[in-house]
Structure 1
Amino acid sequence: MPEVRKELKICEAHSEKSSVDKPHVTELKELPPHLEYEFLEGDDKLPVIIAKDLSVEEKTALITILKSHKRAITWKLSDIKGINPKFCTHKILMEEDFEPAVQHQRRVNPKIHDVIKQEVIKLLEAGLIYPISNSPWDHFPLPFMDQML
């Protein structure tokens, strides 16, 4: 049996249901005029974007092929086949005498704050990131004076 490194833990295989087995309703964005949504299941599940100028026969053929290969499309991050994100680790090796630099929290443009929040939620759901419960982070910082005025 190969030697197992001390940092890695041996864990059992973990499989979640694919979003093809349990599809969820997706919030659809407005598309350019030359594109349209088609759904591979029902009227609001498993959306794909196709060109509007396809003929009826071409649309039917395309949708038939996509329906027969639904599992080849990743509908969310957890559908991607490969190493379970809970098993995968990332380690930054540093020299013995090196001290990491500490950077202060940066303010984010309010226009993209919602986009960042949605991306973080996606990564949390996929298990690629996780919350740290024993962080020294100040959860109730004092507000910025210019925001209070």
Structure 2
Amino acid sequence: MLNSIESPPVLDRKSLPDSLKYAYLGPNETLTVIIASCLTTEQEDKVLAVLKDHKEAIGWSVAYLKGISPSICMHQIFCEDGAKPFRDTQRRLNPNMREVVKNEIVKWLDAALFTLPLTANELVPLR
């Protein structure tokens, strides 16, 4: 892997909110950082000086972060070509069946076939 300072990665620059702006630590607009746009020129120079002094410590891409596997930070959803994403509708019982299920659960509670847990970690005893 090449050193990111010697061969900086090419990044897509997206539009930023008015409160932020791009600044560069390397020549020819390389080693991009995002800073607050409300800083005075003096403050901006101080921030950039500190960042330039420690630019070896900055992970310029996920691949450069030591100890973190890029596969943990990224994921892919594999789909067939031409597949369109869709969202299933919420499933509900019709009102008549909901009442039947509710009555059945009440019967089970009365018969002590199971108990409702008081906490998320509590075990539910079954008979």
TM-score by length of 2: 0.52
Alpha-carbon separation, structure 2, partners of 1:37 and 1:25? 14
Deviation of 1:84 after TM superposition, in Å, equals 7.1
Instruction: Tell me the equivalent position of 1:35.
Output: 20
Shift of 1:25: 2.7
**How far 1:27 sits from its partner (Å)?**
1.5
- Output the amino acid matched with 2:60: W
Change (3 A) 1:56 1:21: same
* CA–CA distance in structure 1, aligned partners of residues 14 and 64 of structure 2: 22
For structure 2, which runs of at least 5 residues remain unmatched after alignment?
A: 71-78, 87-127
Rg: which structure is higher?
2
Quick check: 1:66 aligned with 2:43?
no
Q: Are 1:108 and 2:93 counterparts?
A: no
1:18 aligns with 2:6: no
Q: Give the structure 2 partner of residue 82 of structure 1.
A: 67
Structure 2 CA distance for partners of 1:83 and 1:39, relative to 1, 3 Å: closer
State the Cα RMSD in Å.
2.6
Q: Give the superposition deviation at 1:77.
A: 1.7
| 2:31 is the alignment partner of 1:46 | yes
> What number of residue pairs does the alignment pair up?
77
- How far apart, CA to CA, are the structure 2 residues paired with 1:67 and 1:25? 18
Equivalent residues of 2:21, 2:35 under 8 A apart: yes
Q: State the shift of 1:108 in Å.
A: 3.4
- Percent identity among equivalent residues? 36
| Aligned partners of 1:26 and 1:44 also within 8 Å | no
Map of 1:10 onto structure 2: none
Bigger relative contact order (CA 8 A; separation at least 6): 1
Aligned twin of 1:99: none
Q: CA, structure 1 residues 84+33, in 2 after alignment: closer, same or farther (shift >3 Å)?
A: closer
1:103-128: CA deviation from partner (whole Å, max 9, x where unpaired): x967437xxxxxxxxxxxxxxxxxxx
8 Å contact from structure 1 (residues 25, 44) kept in 2: no
- Give, in whole Å, the separation in 2 of the partners of 1:31 and 1:83: 27
